[in-house]
Structure 1
């Protein structure tokens, strides 16, 4: 893609594209039955969103994701963070 496209996204979100790509890569290769990996991803999403994830919310997300063992949907995590 074109660099100006990424610069526009960075300026609107305040999140460097390198961090977005790193998160996407982590999600793509993550083992969602591994609680430690899931917690790491949730914390990274929280940092990128500039939202603190309360322990109870993190635990609920982890339990839900690990129980299902499916790939995480970032929009679901963002939705849950937005309900705080």
Structure 2
């Protein structure tokens, strides 16, 4: 049943669940106050989401996560990428 659940999510979102799990594993225990680490995660999320983000937007996302202490997860970054300010 769990496998069908993930397959349905993949069909609806176009996002491979293995990619999400690999991302989650890669950030466990990572220093999320480190700019290089956060920047790598932002790039991974961008790739998984199939969205290119301009350098200016990447900088804004990275600084927001580091300075404001925002929770770093796929949804936070995806929402910031979709924000049309």
Instruction: Place the TM-score, normalised by the shorter chain, in its bin.
Output: 0.7 to 0.9
Please tell me the root mean square deviation across aligned C-alpha atoms, in Å. 1.9
CA distance in 1: counterparts of 2:7 and 2:73, whole angstroms: 24
- Stretches of structure 2 that go unaligned for 5 or more consecutive residues are none
The residue that corresponds to 2:49 in the other structure is 49
Higher relative contact order (CA 8 A, sep 6+): 1
After TM superposition, what 4+ stretches of structure 1 lie above 4 angstroms from structure 2? none
- Asked whether the equivalents of residues 27 and 71 of structure 1 are also in contact (C-alpha less than 8 Å), the reply is no
Q: What TM-score does the superposition give when structure 2 sets the normalisation length? A: 0.81
User: Residue 37 of structure 1: CA displacement?
Assistant: 0.8
CA distance in 2: counterparts of 1:78 and 1:72, whole angstroms: 10
Q: What TM-score does the superposition give when structure 1 sets the normalisation length? A: 0.82
- Stretches of structure 1 that go unaligned for 5 or more consecutive residues are none
Moved more, 30-39 or 73-82: 73-82
